[in-house]
Every structure is written in C-alpha cells, then in structure tokens.
Amino acid sequence: MKVLITGGAGYIGSTIASALEDTGHTPVILDSLITGRIEFTRGRIFYHADIADTQALETIFREHPDIVATIHCAALIIVPESVARPYDYYKENVSKSLEMFHTLDRLGCKRVVFSSSASLYDLVPGFMVREDSPLKPGSPYARTKYMMEMILADLCAASEMRGISLRYFNPIGADPQMRSGLHIQHPTLVLGLLVETALGRKPVFDITGTHWPTRDGTGIRDYVHVWDLAMAHVKAVENFDAAFARSERPDQPYLVINLGTGQGVTVREIVNAFEKVYGQEINKREMPPRPGDVAGAYANADTAQRLLGWKAELSLEQSIADALKWGELRVKLLDYTK
C-alpha cells in the first residue's frame, strides 16, 4: 500500500515511514522541514511542502493516485512554545489541517489517520483513561489537538471521509535500526533529559514534583516505544476499514483509539530503569513541579487491541537502550557537535 505521511521528516513520522517500508508498504512524505530533518527522508519519496499547499497536494495525488490513506503527523508540538505563541499553533495545526482535510476529501483520499495526544485527557482517579474518559486539554497545544479531532469528526460525518484519531501517550526510544529518533536538540521530556544527563550534556536531572497522589509521589506516564507506536499506524492503515466494521457502531465514520502500553510508570521508576540499563547512577535532584505540570495518566489500551489488533510489545528497558544509543549517534548524524 502507498501511504501519505505528513510530518514524515519528524521523530514519529519518520519512524512510521520505516515501519511501513519494513512491512512492504511505500511511504510518501510531505514535510515543510519547519522542525523536521531532511536526513530522515533520504531514499524516500519526499515532497518538501507545507500541508496547506493545495497545489503540492494536487501534485502528490496526481503522481501517486494509488495512495490509499493519509497519516497526518505534521504539527508544532512544544507545549511551552504554544503558551507563548498561540496564534502560530492555532494557525499551523488547526487552520492548516482544516484546509488539508478539505483538500484530501476533494482529491479522493477518504482515509485519514490523525496523530492526537493523551494531553487531551482530564485527570481521573486511578490515572487510567479510556477513550471516553473526560477531556480537559490544558494548553494551547493540547487544544489544537482537541479542535483538530472535532474538525475531523465533523468532516467525516458530512462526507465519505473516515478518520481515526490515535491518541499517543508518551512516545520514547528510537528506531531499533537507528534510522531516526528524537531530533530536537534540547529535549524537554523525561527520557530525552535522562539521556542528555547521562551523556554529560546536562549537569543534573530534575525530578520535578514529588508530592503527587501516585504510589511514590512522582508523576505517572505511559511510555510507549516509538517503534511500537509506528507499528500501530501500520496496523491502522492495514486494518482501516476492518476497524470500523469491528467497532461498536460500524456506521460511525470516526474512531478514537488510545496508543499506550496500558502500564503507568512513575518518574522515579523510569529513573531507576534508566540507571539499570545505563549501568550507573546519574546526577539527579528533587524539585517542585513546573508550572502546568500534572500528576499524569496511563492508557486503557483495549480498543487498540480490539479494533487494530495492536498492542505494545517492546519493554521500557528496550526503549531506554534505543534512546541511549540514538542519543550518542545523533550527535554525528544530525551534526549536533556544538
């Protein structure tokens, strides 16, 4: 199958492209490279364009009329940046996606898989969230995802288009074959920060927030290996029509599916696992929570298993080992020598 991936030069999109190739499919990449890396597109069909560039989409579908689905990963994704620059986030993520969905529909691409986020969920007692758990997107970034989900659902209800929003929990690790991985130069999320500390690029790892109502007081997350996440997209494309048929209401044109392991892991637990894999302790300290921090959530991942036949398979330790390996390699591969 041929599949269009917007944002295919990014961390997750490039891993999805590798997973599609490894399973015999052909990815077609559309990326503006606003944050993505050209290195991740090498050897692949690549269109350097914006998702709102209607002409570029027309060219892609003229040259590849056999594209069966679009996986829409392109977005701006940094939460604090979205607080500082909400206009850019609503424009880049919401307005441009609206235009792109409309163009895809016009060009006959009726299957859309959308990269959504667990940051949509409200806090719930026990921390496990199902797709129908209450939502409370807490940042402009999360609200763009919420709006994009609503837009996709409404467009699907009014046309022949069908959409699947995949709510990612906390993607970590790198392609096990090291073709791509986290490219942001100064990571802001837990595992990226642990790797930077271990490799001596950060003096100390801050455990931010130690009084949450979790089993050890630190925040809880659902860390999913990015390769598992990528394979979920392969399954979503391969089982796209079947997923609707298997759902509770086969007539509904829009589905939401959590992508997580179903296991909550606290910050202290991931630090311990990291030190075991790395083979030594890292320099760490306890700090108060940062503004906007929350206790967290983990997925009920039953829907993904039922509708897509997918479940996460790779361990936390494998994610950590792959992230560490990539953390060393990327300095050269992405020229982060400064």
Ligand X SMILES: NC(=O)c1ccc[n+]([C@@H]2O[C@H](COP(=O)([O-])OP(=O)(O)OC[C@H]3O[C@@H](n4cnc5c(N)ncnc54)[C@H](O)[C@@H]3O)[C@@H](O)[C@H]2O)c1
Report if residue 103 touches ligand X, rule: CB under 6 A: no
Report if residue 13 touches ligand X, rule: CB under 6 A: yes
Instruction: Tell me whether residue 121 or residue 205 sits nearer to ligand X (CB atom).
Output: 121
Report if residue 96 touches ligand X, rule: CB under 6 A: yes
Q: Which of the residues 171 through 190 are near ligand X (CB under 6 A)?
A: 171
**Residues 33, 56, 147, 294: which binds ligand X (CB under 6 A)?**
33
3-state SS, residue 221? strand
Report if residue 271 touches ligand X, rule: CB under 6 A: no
Q: How many residues bind ligand X (CB under 6 A)?
A: 26
Candidates 7, 39, 44; CA nearest to 233 is 7
> Which residue stretch of 32-40, 129-137, 232-240, 314-322 sits at the interface with ligand X (rule: CB under 6 A)?
32-40
Report if residue 11 touches ligand X, rule: CB under 6 A: yes
Q: Which of the residues 273 through 292 are near ligand X (CB under 6 A)?
A: none
Q: Catalytic: 141?
A: yes
CA distances (Å), 3 to each of 25, 112, 116, 132, in order? 8, 10, 18, 29
C-beta of residue 182 within 8 angstroms of C-beta of residue 192: yes
Instruction: Tell me whether residue 48 or residue 246 sits nearer to ligand X (CB atom).
Output: 48
Catalytic residue among 11, 47, 141, 223: 141
CB of 225 to ligand X, least distance (A): 12
> DSSP string covering 92-153, please?
IIIIHHHHHHHHHHHTT--EEEEEEEGGGBPP-TTSEE-TTS-B---SHHHHHHHHHHHHHH
Distance separating alpha carbons of residues 117 and 166, to the nearest angstrom: 7
Report if residue 300 touches ligand X, rule: CB under 6 A: no
Angle between helix axes 11-22 and 226-238 (nearest 10 degrees) is 60
Q: Which residues are catalytic?
A: 141
What does the binding site for ligand X look like in residue numbers (CB under 6 A)? Answer: 6-7, 9-13, 31-36, 50-51, 73-77, 92, 96, 115, 117, 168, 171
